[in-house]
Structure 1
Amino acid sequence: MATLHVLSHSPFGDSRFASCLRVLGADDAILLTGDAVHTLQPETAPANALSELLQPLYVLEEDLKARGIAAQHGVTALDYAGFVDLTLRYAKVNSWL
């Protein structure tokens, strides 16, 4: 069952990001929101881990702008309407609270 994994916490504060990566399935995707967009900071362990993923990677554009972070190549930035549309494309949505 394809799952959209929604992360909203910084990967530098706890193990949610690493736990998410361990359970990713081949048809899954990740959406970074809130402080999870810090995962995209260049030359960090989380950014390096994301660069090796084959799964689609999305980020909430408003959160990127609020934190002054640029989307990397291969990352799709979404507005809120795109976020809603994305949740409808997956059989399951898992929010890593």
Structure 2
Amino acid sequence: MSTLHVLSHSPFADTRLTSCLRVLGAADAVLLSGDAVYALRRGSAPMHALEAKKASLTLFVLEEDLLARDLPLPDWAQSVDYPSFVELSIRYDKVNTWL
């Protein structure tokens, strides 16, 4: 069963991203939204954690939040808009929002 893991909190405020990356299954994906996109700051520990998993990680980033924070999108991640976010929610068997 596949799960879309949705993160929206800053990775510098707590350990949600670290916990999420630890429990990812092979068919799972991660969607960064809101302040979670700060994980993509170059040279940061969260970015290093994502890069370490990039070979097996399916990473989506909400484009609006990425642009609002003026962060670059890694070439191994995919930006999505809100309609695409809805499509992802349907494509995966479950959606786990890390509140």
For residues 52 and 80 of structure 1, the distance between their equivalents in structure 2, rounded to whole angstroms, comes to: 27
Among the aligned pairs, what percent are the same residue?
57
Contact 1:27 1:55 in 2 (8 A): no
Counterparts of 1:55 and 1:72 in 2: how far apart (Å)? 12
Please list every run of at least 4 consecutive aligned residues from structure 1 whose deviation after the TM superposition is greater than 3 angstroms.
none
State how 1:12-91 maps to structure 2 within 5 Å: 12-53=12-53, 54-91=56-93
Deviations 1:7-58 (A, max 9, x none): 0001000011111111111110000000000000011111111112212100
**Which residue matches 1:9?**
9
Q: How far apart are 1:73 and its partner, in Å?
A: 1.1
How well do the aligned residues superpose, as a CA RMSD in angstroms?
0.7
Normalising by structure 1, what TM-score?
0.97
Q: CA deviation at 1:59?
A: 0.3
Distance 1:26 1:74 in 2: 16
1:39-92, Cα deviation, whole Å (9 max, x unpaired): 000111111111122121000000001111111111100010111111111000
Would the aligned equivalents of 1:7 and 1:32 in 2 still touch at CA under 8 Å?
yes
1:13 counterpart letter in structure 2: A
TM-score, with structure 2 as normaliser: 0.95
Can you give the 5+ residue segments of structure 1 that lack an aligned partner in the other structure?
none
Equivalent in 90, 93, 96 of residue 95 of structure 2: 93
Unaligned runs of 5+ residues in structure 2 are: none
